[in-house]
């Protein structure tokens, strides 16, 4: 059996873009906005490629669920070094549980020994897909990974917790989600972009996998954060204390 890694990625608004809320409060403005691979997913893909470069995997398959425009981000992943791409077309916004169910169908088809995802997407910040996928797959999970070591059919994962670092050892196959400090993704060069155009990208529908995407959550209203108030300068500590008391932020 081929030693394969599956990496799940999501198309999101680029992290450098300043988010603007629609005037009617129904969502954020997406028209003409730069879209990119979710940064944590990009880190997960980089780790998969590095594992393959160390000779511990034979193939890296990247998968995404979303509209037709997702193929641009999948091509970017192929340029980074993924071998194949799977695009599950869905114009219905997918929630974590639906995405996890779709990824499970792809896993059953591809039979990977490791599944890597970002710890969360920067658009909705749910941070649930990896955990739900592991539960549905009935395989171990290790989340928020800052280091991954593979040996003897096991993965040793170091993760950051409030008290410091925690190291877990899980049997493979397993689901691992990537944290910010796991690695720094490589810069994609033009020759790799050209080569990526010839790499296989397969398009499927959610329905062909036996999944019908449904929306269970509805955003009632989207609001921009309040504007930051203008600050004030004080000459000494006494003026600071007086100003705080005046604003009711400090007891008399």
Per-residue pLDDT of the chain (252 residues; tens, 9 = 90+): 569 999 999 999 988 888 888 888 888 888 888 999 999 999 999 999 999 999 999 999 999 999 999 999 999 999 999 999 999 998 888 889 999 999 999 999 999 999 999 999 998 888 999 999 999 999 999 999 999 999 999 999 999 888 889 999 999 999 999 999 999 999 998 999 999 999 999 999 999 999 988 888 888 888 888 888 788 888 899 888 888 888 888 776
pTM: 0.86
Residue 173: name the closest of 153, 148, 145 by CA: 153
**Angstrom distance (rounded) from CA 17 to CA 224:** 15
Residue 251 lies in a domain: no
Residue 252 lies in a domain: no
Phi (first) and psi of residue 30, to 5 degrees: -115, -15
Count CA atoms closer than 13 A to 47's CA, side-chain side. Answer: 29
Residue 154 lies in a domain: yes
Residue 160: domain span: 4-246
Residue 134 lies in a domain: yes
- Report which DSSP code applies to 188: P
Residue 166 lies in a domain: yes
Residue 221 lies in a domain: yes
CATH assignment at residue 194: 3.40.50.620
Count of domains forming the chain:
1
């Amino acid at each position: 059996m081929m030693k394969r890694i599956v990496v799940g990625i999501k198309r999101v608004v680029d992290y450098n873009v300043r988010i603007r809320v629609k005037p009617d409060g129904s969502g954020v403005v997406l028209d003409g906005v730069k879209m990119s691979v979710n940064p944590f997913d990009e880190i997960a893909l980089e780790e998969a490629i590095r594992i393959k470069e160390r000779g511990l995997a034979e193939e890296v398959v990247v998968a995404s669920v979303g509209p037709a425009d997702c193929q641009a981000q999948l091509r970017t992943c192929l340029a980074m070094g993924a071998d194949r791409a799977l695009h599950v077309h869905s114009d219905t916004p997918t929630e974590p549980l639906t995405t996890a169910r779709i990824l499970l169908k792809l896993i059953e088809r591809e039979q990977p020994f490791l599944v890597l995802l970002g710890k969360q997407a920067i658009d909705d910040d749910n941070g649930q897909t990896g955990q739900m996928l592991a539960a549905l797959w009935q395989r171990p999970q290790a989340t928020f990974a800052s280091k991954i070591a593979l040996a003897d059919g096991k993965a040793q994962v170091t993760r950051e917790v409030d008290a410091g670092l925690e190291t877990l050892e899980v049997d493979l196959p397993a689901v691992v989600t990537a944290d910010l400090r796991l690695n720094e993704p490589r810069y994609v060069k033009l020759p790799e972009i050209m080569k990526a155009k010839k790499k296989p990208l397969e398009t499927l529908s959610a329905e062909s996998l036996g999944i019908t995407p449904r929306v269970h959550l509805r955003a009632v209203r989207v609001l921009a954060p309040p504007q930051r108030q203008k600050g004030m300068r004080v000459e000494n500590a006494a003026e600071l204390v007086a100003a705080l008391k005046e604003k009711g932020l400090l007891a008399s």
